[in-house]
Amino acid sequence: MEFFNVLTSAELLDTTEALLPEHRERLYPPTVTLSMFMRQVLEADGSCQKAVNGWAAQRAADGLHPCSVRTGGYCRARQRLPVAMVSALARATG
């Protein structure tokens, strides 16, 4: 289960949906990237590497095709997250 799903209410889901950008299906779609980013900032380590390692482990546990543990793709995906979406979610969660 994505970390994002654990912390979401109907209001947060509506905000996310309203601000979700058009996107291609990638290894790191916006909802996955947002979930990883939320988890990353709450971790004591807080590194991109730990976030990517966690995602790779989750994919393996789900029986999905293994992915690289290099951080470049995730870092680019984070840059594609709309600032308005991240800001609105931060305000909504306090």
Find out whether 69 and 49 touch, Cβ atoms under 8 Å: yes
Structure confidence at residue 76 (pLDDT) = 95
Q: Which residues contact 78 (CB under 8 A, 6 or more apart)?
A: 33, 37
| The model's pTM | 0.75
* pLDDT tens readout for residues 40-78: 988 999 999 999 999 999 999 999 999 999 999 999 999
d(CA 18, CA 7): 17
Q: Is the pLDDT of residue 3 over 70?
A: no
Model confidence at 4, pLDDT cuts 50, 70, 90, reads low
Q: Which residues contact 88 (CB under 8 A, 6 or more apart)?
A: 15, 19
Structure confidence at residue 59 (pLDDT) = 93
Find out whether 44 and 13 touch, Cβ atoms under 8 Å: no
Q: Which residue has the higher pLDDT, 5 or 10?
A: 10
